[in-house]
Structure 1
Amino acid sequence: MKPRVLFFEEVDRSRLPEVGGKGANLGELARAGFPVPEGFCVTTSAYREFVATSSEMEELLEELDALDPEDVEGLRALGGRIRAHLLEMEIPASLKREITEAWRRAGEEHAYAVRSSATAEDLPTASFAGQQDTYLNVKGREELLWHIRKCWASLFTDRAIAYRMKNGFDHRQVFLSVVVQRMVNPEVSGILFTADPLTGNRRVVSIDASFGLGEAIVSGKVSADLYKVKEGRILQREISEKKIRIRPRPEGGTVTEDVPPEERNRPALADDQVLRLAEMGKRIEKHFGAPQDIEFCVEKGRIYVVQSRPITSLYPLPADLPQEPLGVLISFGHIQMMTDAMKPLALSIFRSVFPKTFLYEAGGRLFINPSAVLRTRPGRKLFPKVLKNLFDESLGRAVEEVIRRPEFHRVPPPPGTGRFFRRHVLPIAKNLWRNLWANDPSAVKEEVERFIREKREEVRGALQGVSGHRRLEEVRRQIQGLPREAVPRLLPYVLSYPVSFLLLRRLLGDVDELNQLNKSLPGNVTSEMGLAIGDLADLLRELPEVEAYLARAEDETFFEGLQEVEGGTRFKEAFEEFLDKYGHRCPGEIDLTRPRWREAPTLLVSAILGHMRSVKPGEHRLRFKEGEREAREAAERILDRVGRRGFRARRVQRLMVVFREMGGLREHPKYLITAVLDECRKAILAEAERLASEGVLGRPEDAFFLTLDELIRLAKGEPFRDVSALIEERKGRHEWQQTLKPPKVMTSEGEIVTGTPRRGEYPEGALVGMPASAGVAEGKARVILSPERASLSEGEILVAPHTDPGWTPLFQSARALVTEVGGLMTHGSVVAREYGIPAVVGVDDATRKIRDGQRIRVDGNRGYVEIVEDAGE
């Protein structure tokens, strides 16, 4: 028989299923010698035994299972019935005796805090804190037994039920232990975070403290003093006016009383207490191996720990990243316009390409570590400017903020940094200069496209010529070799586009003609893809039966079904031609594990139908031609302004040609990368299907939850761990990682840095971002988090977290663009300028602050968004 009562000294982490998160953590602390008030846990076995005496509980739980999570009234009524039922039940006599014996042994003269401790509580990835009830200053046997029952019943409070439903916890699989802990009568109580909960800095301890019991802080009834400590030094001390305090009453229970006016502004803690608390907190963090949220009390000068749990709100740090010296990490996803969590296979592929000290993984995302470059003088000067002008203004400001700190720039660059610049950066810079001033821009496109065709065929041939683990090893070889070939060949062309733009802006000023120059760039592979979508939509207008079929089509039978409807063969030929060129693309395409359009053609249906309904026949082609005309006229106006002769005029004319020609090549490198990734995806899935047929994998897609090296070992027949269990564990972790919001910039200490806000005069309540495409537009907001099966109606404004080429089908229908991520030269900005629609990018939390259907005004000249009226007004 499992124990029904356990004292703290009998408890450690292995007892979590019996005593819950709170009880297990207190037991760990007590056994490790930390000052924990003595007490015991009434275990989950006791709770199960208590519930088992009910003849109605199973029926009530079945009703709960059938309840709609959105039915607030139903949830409230059923929760009330369950709680009332549990409170009416009697505790079994033998269990009552065992609890009474423990109470007497602990000291019946004491008052106790009676706290719930759920088995799914205070876990590294989920915290049930505050979901069940706590009772303070409980005195006497009958009161203790009554409050234990009240704790058990609190497992079914409205908020606890709703939380379990939201987070996918089965009501039958979450059990409750009750922690009974000697009550401390403190002068001061508080909460200690061993990492700063606001910034995420793992080396800063943050302490909130006030007079009396900690319930005043937890309930928000009092403003606490704030202390921040780093490495034995108090960084910040904010003393609040503490008007009330909660104290235990001699007869039991608590009372709220006023603090005398002369004491209200007195610091709750002396400096030596602050430092002792910080030091103890760091020792507790070290014991648990993770940052902790700790509740403490100070009674007669002695510090007690009454609770410790993981801080679950922090964004994870890379496991292999040293915290010293101070370094800076930049989100790879924000630069690539894809901030979703990636599966282990995709992460491992990117990490196999770059040095381990340059690219790190955290929270299912990749982070670039440019600290070595930023410690050099040219790096400090140029790198933030590149980030601000080309990628994301706020990202560049955040990096500037970090590198200005003495603890960053005092550290010299690592040995070999200069050699790296000479070997890799200098040749690219030389080629960039030649592209700007010497090479023939019109000859470049053919050379680039030939290289892409040849490289794709080379990769395809290499992967088709082998099988088994050798094919997977060839995948690794091809991916690792791609940057060595592609970067020196293509990067100088790609950089010529933004650099020529910046040089033109310096020569001409920030004039409207520069935006006009960006329209209808020649040969842009992504723009051509958007035009091809429009052609498919125009063809569909002539084929009503095909249109009706597409609305119900499924991926598995997509092309077979087309052949069964009138006009289907004609549309099928055109659609297959499109997929032949663009089928390797999709939203979030840098993630090799994402399904491609060639595999899931229905992903394009909403965009095609939306285009057909919101854009007139042939209008997309007419717009493109109009853009070409406007670009030519803008170039003529610029030349009229600077003159047709002279050195300055020749420079401007040359840069305009480079800007147009190289701008058309901007998307080609990504086109090549995604084409190579698609060939690798085909090879990996072919081997995964074989492994699944042999029973090594449950299904082919399980391969995505292994690293490439692990998959190679599996294909070789080399056993490692329980593969099925490992995959299931990683699926759960990936699901949790998808809920995280990755920071744009963070330090090696875990601090999330946002940078100083952009300055300017804006309307009150405006959402400020970066102006990316000129013009002002007003319309209905269409908030789209993922473009799969999404469409826009005529006149709607696209509001998105980010965009990449997989979003292009939506642009033809958009009146304007607002994104949370982006800069002047990122995908959405460039395409918006090409299409001549206003765009504001880098608007923090735009998809949360703007609601679907609201009427908004997008000012792409000054870089802000106004909410004009709410949906339905």
Structure 2
Amino acid sequence: MNYTKPLSDLQRSDINIAGGKGANLGALIHAQLPVPDGFVVLTSGYREFVAQNGLQEKIQDVLNMIQSDVPADLDRASEAIHSLFVSGKIPDELVSETLAAYASLGESTAVAVRSSATAEDLPDLSFAGQQDTYLNIVGKDALLQAIVNCWASLWTARAIGYRTRNHISHNDVTLAVVVQKMVQSEASGVLFTANPLTGKRNETVIDATLGLGEAMVSGQVDPDHYVVEMPSDRILTKTLGAKGLSIQGKDGGGTVSLQLPASDRQALPDAQIMELARLGQKAQSSFGSLQDMEWAWADGRLYVVQSRPITSLYPLPDNVQENPLEILFSFGVWQGMLDPYTPIGQDVFKYLIVGFARNFGEDTTPLEQRAVFTAGERIFVNITNLLKSPQGRTIVEIFTEAIDPESARVIGFLVKDKRFSRLESLSLTSRMSLLKVLIPLAGSAISNLISPAKGRARLEKKIDRVLDEVRLRCEGAHTLGELVRVFEQTTFFLPADIMPYLVGGIVGGQAPYQIMLRTFDFQGSQELMFNLTRGLPYNVTTQMDLKLWETARKIRSDAAAVQYFLSTDIKILVEQYHAGSLPVIIQQALVDFLSEYGIRGLAEIDLGRPRWREHPSNLFQALKSYLQVNPSAAPDILFEQGKEIAAEAQQKIVQVVRQQPGGFIKSKIVNGLIRRYRELGGLRETPKYFVVRLLSIYRYALLNFSEKLAAEGILEKADDVMFLHIRELKALAEGDRRDWKSCINERRNVYQRELRRTRIPRVMLTDGTAFYDAPTSIECDDPDTLIGTPVSAGVVEGKARVVFDPHGAQIFPGEILICPATDPAWTPLFLAAGGLVTEVGGMMTHGSVVAREYGIPAVVGVNQATSRLKTGQLVRVDGSGGTIMVME
């Protein structure tokens, strides 16, 4: 047989010939689940039909005439392609083989005909509902017509658009058709082996309606909703829906819709609910993944008619356990970088946490430690133990409130849960270990507060000395194995050496500000506190941005250079920069900037990500924006004006305090706090910049060795090494010659898949519960007003510019930058922006700090801002009140 195969002959690996649905049904049969008998018209049938009717070129011609992001174009393309299919002729051999398979099911048997695409029911993408299903088909002619309609449904508007958005080639997708005996259902529905709303992995959720499931799938009926706790086999909740419509099969083919109010009738009895939940667990065990299953119940028997992986849930780390339940906080929210991390980038923090744990007397390994986990290629920090003690809970509350108030609300909600509400006193051993760490930190912070300028100089000197030592050790490594040992030794012992200096610098700067922020409660105090942060000196990120402005000023001195830079495509500019062939004034200005800041870049906290010196495209985009900024609004001028505003704020605060009881002494204290904040507050960005500089030393030492591996053919290219773990680098250094290329290619594919993930949990529990926003997020009744956290005072109106990736973005002067989150590599865009709105962040995140220093009104923590606001909309950002109003 060339074109059909019985379902029972198919395996899970047959996706290329039977599509996802057909291959999965075959696997379910082999797992001994109750699947209705049937066969598959293989993808070879689709290809033969397309070839015999000359459809490939015609389809491409239609696609070439549309814009894939225009819904009307997609609809027109779909209609045109459908017409091509229905007017085509099925080859005779394909007809005869299909009808023979149909006859084997019984003469004139009623069947369900379902599309089964090769890019369907995959572990990482959900194509559910994109192709068509035809129920209760009876007779040869009706079957053949349904098959053609299924083939044509590969080209629905939704399917075309979905493939385009996910970078799946239309030419790589084909379609099989599943034909199964029709189950004339008394009840039917869907089952999820994890709760799709909360993410809990121990809850099976079942939706059920009367009759065929098409009414529920198409949204025409309110079904029953059952939640079952597994593996305890306990029904937790049952919510009966109206079930006001029932679709049933007619004699002779086709379906009929009946109005059948049944809100008081349970669609599926309790015994069958439990039996169905166990079938779901059996399918999950067989496939090795969470399952989204379609089922039917007829004549007292349950049937499985489809099962696919659940793709909507955020993945759990591999090595977590549900018992005891633990709380994981997103490191991406903390860093303002929501992208996935490369494997080597993940390892950096697992090694650093081992070094950090040694400060507390804990002896663990990067694989055994339970403080840092990876899920969805992103890093999550286990804060469970911190929340067990009153002191730790206070630290988490203060920290998360400053970083991301929405996360603070999530954690505040969780600690009221009885599973986490119990507080434990620290043991004597823990107290002693904590004191051993806190005493040098406190000593450093106090020393900085006593003599701020000397403290800042001491920190800078320490950083330079540590980096010089690491650089010398990396340069002295003669083999890859020696370099890996340098990395291990440094990450294990560095935290104890440098942490008192870094943390002492931050605390010395932020403690005065936080004291005043929590103490002042007079009219206008919040705005004065915001103004106090303007023009803050010694911030490495601000210094970088001002240096970039100076770079733009150098280019601006030559009108021809400005014209060339603005009119030349970014890709060409990058190529010419690397070739050293840009106009001299541009080339030299860029060389000067990148010689100092070329080690920075997007997602720079990830060792595996390229730096500006390698890929400066988003930097060049920012420069194009700078060249269009009115010189009278130059960032360096605004920065100096910010210093004056801060000085005025200081004067006003001191005046108000002086008028209070005991004002003379209080004003002296407040004046001292402000002076210390202004001297040390800019160090907020220093620890991260230190880490970035440290990682760049490792990165380029590692690339030096990997270039040799690429030349030997062990790797495809030098930066492939960033997709290996440290333990694998050790194996590679010791002569392990496994198929590294295939391993790296698979990981690159996973990384690209994760880049497409649009929502990342702020907080997760190890039972799978994911919190993307706080359960009690503040929203406004006005649909044109969005609510967030105010972090930089002022009100501005401007056109919104929604940006997900600054690599391809140019923001025009005065536009409001709307983005998911920002790390320092985004801040060059701030100098042209009129305002800032982000989905995550708090008072002390990178973007907030820099926005205040530039005097840009900013609101952060705005729920789904990038989807609720559109580029080109006129919006008003109130950085004092925390609102964004859509003006048009």
Q: Same fold, TM exceeding 0.5?
A: yes
Quick check: 1:812 aligned with 2:831? yes
1:498·1:825 contact (CA, 8 Å) conserved in 2? no
Q: Distance in 2 between matches of 1:623 and 1:86?
A: 63
1:227 deviates by 2.0
Give 1:849 deviation, angstroms. Answer: 1.7
Q: Would you say 1:697 and 2:695 are equivalent positions?
A: no
Cα displacement string for residues 272-310 of structure 1 (whole angstroms, at most 9, x for unaligned residues): 433333233223212211111111112233222111111
Deviations 1:662-711 (A, max 9, x none): 21211111111111111111112111211111222222222222223323
1:195 aligns with 2:212: no
The corresponding residue for 1:406 is: 418
CA 1:84–1:506 in structure 2 vs 1: closer, same or farther (change >3 Å)? closer
Separation in structure 2 between the aligned mates of residue 153 and residue 621 of structure 1, nearest angstrom: 60
Q: Is the 8 A contact 1:615 1:812 kept in 2?
A: no
3-state SS in 1 of match to 2:178: strand
Q: Note if 1:833 corresponds to 2:870.
A: no
In 2, Cα distance between the equivalents of 1:158 and 1:791? 31
Partner residue, 2:366: none
Q: 1:726 aligns with which of 726, 732, 743?
A: 743
SS at match of 1:326: coil
Q: Distance in 2 between matches of 1:458 and 1:416?
A: 37
**1:587 CA displacement:** 2.5
1:220 aligned residue: 219
**Distance in 2 of aligned mates of 1:291 and 1:417:** 42
Q: 1:75 deviation in Å?
A: 6.0
CA contact (8 A) 2:794 2:856 kept: yes
Conservation of the 8 A alpha-carbon contact between 2:779 and 2:786: no
Cα shift at 1:656: 2.1
Query: Matched residues in 1 for 2:275 and 2:313: separation?
Result: 24
The answer to whether the 8 A contact 1:432-1:495 is kept is no
Q: 1:505 maps to which residue? A: 517
Matched with 1:782 is 801
Q: Give the Cα separation in 2 of the matches to 1:763 and 1:256.
A: 39
Deviation at 1:836, TM superposition (A): 2.1
8 Å contact kept, 1:243–1:264: yes
Residue 502 to residue 186, structure 1, CA distance change in 2 (3 Å): same
Query: CA–CA distance in 1 between the matches of 2:754 and 2:487?
Result: 27
Measured in 2, the distance between the counterparts of 1:277 and 1:119 equals 28
Higher mean C-alpha deviation, range 109-118 or range 309-318: 109-118
Change in 2 beyond 3 A, CA 1:762/1:616: farther
Q: Please point out which of 822, 838, 847 is paired with 2:841.
A: 822
CA gap 1:767/1:416 in 2 versus in 1, 3 angstroms: farther
Q: Which residue of 2 aligns with 1:555?
A: 574
Equivalent residue for 1:673? 691
SS at match of 1:554: helix
Pair 1:841–1:221, CA change in 2 (3 A): same
- Calculate the aligned-residue CA RMSD, in Å: 2.9
**Equivalent in the alignment of 1:352:** 351
Residue 813 of structure 1 deviates from its aligned partner by 2.5
2: CA distance, partners of 1:564 / 1:204: 64
**Between the two proteins, what is the percent identity of the paired residues?**
39
> Which residue of 504, 509, 514 corresponds with 1:492?
504
Report the secondary structure of 2:807's partner residue: coil
Say which SS state the counterpart of residue 803 (structure 1) adopts: coil
Long gaps (5+) in structure 1: none
CA contact (8 A) 1:604 1:789 kept: no
- Give the C-alpha shift of residue 851 in structure 1: 1.5
Distance 1:534 1:49, change over 3 A: closer
Say yes or no: does 1:742 pair with 2:760: yes
Q: 1:132 to 1:556 in 2, by over 3 A?
A: closer
Task: Supply the AA of the counterpart residue of 2:859.
Answer: V
CA deviations over 1:223-242 (Å, ceiling 9, x no partner)? 11222222333333332222
The corresponding residue for 1:383 is: 396
| Bigger shift: residues 646-655 or 106-115 | 646-655
Instruction: For residues 622-670 of structure 1, give each alpha carbon's deviation from its aligned partner in whole angstroms, at most 9, with x where no partner exists.
Output: 3333322322332232222223866544543332233222212111111
Match of residue 302 from structure 2: 303
- Residue 182 of structure 1 is matched in structure 2 by 181
Moved more, 279-288 or 264-273: 264-273
Alignment match, 2:451: 440
Alignment match, 1:280: 279
Q: Which letter does structure 2 place at the counterpart of 1:203?
A: N
Q: How does 1:409-420 map to 2 (within 5 A)?
A: 409=421, 418=430
Give the letter aligned to residue 241 of structure 1: A
**Distance in 2 separating the partners of 1:538 and 1:58:** 54
> Following superposition of structure 1 onto structure 2, how do residues 1-16 of structure 1 map, counting pairs within 5 Å?
4-16=3-15
TM-score, structure 1 length as denominator?
0.91
8 Å contact from structure 1 (residues 344, 705) kept in 2: yes
| Superposition map of 1:98-497 within 5 A | 98-108=97-107, 110-231=109-230, 232-259=233-260, 261=261, 263-355=262-354, 356-388=369-401, 390-409=402-421, 418=430, 422=434, 425-427=437-439, 430-431=442-443, 434-435=446-447, 439-469=450-480, 470-497=482-509
User: 2:884 maps to what in 1?
Assistant: 865
Matched positions, count: 858
**Take 2:374 and 2:416, find their aligned partners in 1: how far apart are those partners?**
25
The answer to whether structure 1 residue 660 and structure 2 residue 717 are counterparts is: no
Q: Is the 8 A contact 1:772 1:823 kept in 2?
A: yes
Q: Please give the secondary structure, in 1, of the residue aligned with 2:303.
A: strand
Distance between the aligned counterparts of 2:416 and 2:226, measured in 1?
25
How far off is 1:387 after superposition? 0.3
Mapped partners of 2:641, 2:171: distance in 1: 64
CA distance in 2, matches of 1:219, 1:385: 47
Larger deviation, residues 504-513 vs 175-184: 504-513
Match for residue 536 of structure 1 among 530, 538, 551: 551
Distance 1:861 1:120, change over 3 A: same
Shift, 1:346, TM fit = 1.9
Q: 2:621 aligns with which of 606, 615, 618?
A: 606
CA contact (8 A) 2:779 2:787 kept: no
Secondary structure in 1 aligned to 2:601? Answer: coil
TM-score (ref. length: structure 2): 0.90
Residues 435 and 493, structure 1, Cα contact 8 Å, conserved in 2: no
2:62–2:80 Cα contact (<8 Å) kept: no
3-state DSSP class of the match of 2:720?
A: helix
Range 296-305 or range 836-845, more displaced = 296-305
SS of 1:533's equivalent in the other structure is helix
SS of the residue corresponding to residue 478 of structure 2 reads coil
